[in-house]
Every structure is written in C-alpha cells, then in structure tokens.
Amino acid sequence: MSKAAELIKCIFDKTRLSKSFGQVLKNAKIVSVEDGKVKAELKICEDHLNLGGSLHGGYISTLVDCFSTYALMAYKNSPPGVSVDLHVTFLKPAFCGDVVIIDAKTVKVGRRLAFLKVKILKADDGAIVARGIQTKFIGGD
C-alpha cells in the first residue's frame, strides 16, 4: 500500500470513528486508493434516509464532498484543499439495504484549483444514483 493510501485510510478511519460530523461515514469502507482515485462502498441504512425512504440528498452531497477530497489527496500528495464549488445531480433513488459504490476521481490539478468528479452507483446493477463535481482551492504562489 502506498504512503498516500495509508495516510488517506488513517484520516478516513479517524474521521468516521470520531464524535464529529465525520461519523456520518462510519458505515463506509474504502475499497481502493490509486493515483488520484478513491473507491468506497456503503450499505445504506435507515440513518441515511430522508422521510420518503430513499437516500438523503444531503448525505449524497456529503459523500461527494468527502470522497472527492480523498481522491485529491491521492493525487501526488496534494493537500485536501477548500471547497469552492460543489454540484450534485441526483439521478436515481437508493434505499435501505442497497449497497452503493462511491467512485471519486481527480480530473485536473492546477496551481490554485483542483477539479474532481464522483459517481455514486448501485453495486447490484451499476445504476447511477448521483454524479457530483467539485472545485477545490489548493493554494499556490
């Protein structure tokens, strides 16, 4: 396992096992970390649902935000950055008991901005639940 992968998994575990907001990721599991890419898996439970019984849009947005950050950190030891823009398109509902795959990728990293994308798919049939894009400020000269 690369040092970047070890660092990301360590930060992820500390976050999801904390008493802070990050604990909303407690049921997620990182499956792989590659250069600029992170894949994770999550079994949807009642805590993740809206009143209509499907995966909550705010929770989906949190998944996009968090896992795109990990994908950025997996790209040449990039810093996590600060969110500038987050856009999520909701395409299909997911329900309690469904397993989703979170597939986050770094698209481009410049001197000051990083561009990332995330797909959330149902594990059983590959249907896309949501797509997200995020722009992060990473500093620079």
pLDDT value, residue 140: 66
Q: Which domains are delineated in the chain?
A: 3-137 (3.10.129.10)
Question: Can you give the pLDDT of all 141 residues of the chain as single tens digits?
Answer: 788 888 899 999 999 999 999 889 999 999 999 999 999 999 999 999 999 999 999 999 999 999 999 999 999 989 999 999 999 999 999 999 999 999 999 999 999 999 999 999 999 999 999 999 999 999 866
Say if residues 39 and 104 touch (Cβ distance below 8 Å).
yes
Amino acid of residue 97: G
What is d(CA 111, CA 137) in angstroms, rounded to the nearest whole number?
Answer: 9
On whether the CB atoms of residues 81 and 19 are closer than 8 A, the answer is no
What's residue 141's pLDDT? 61
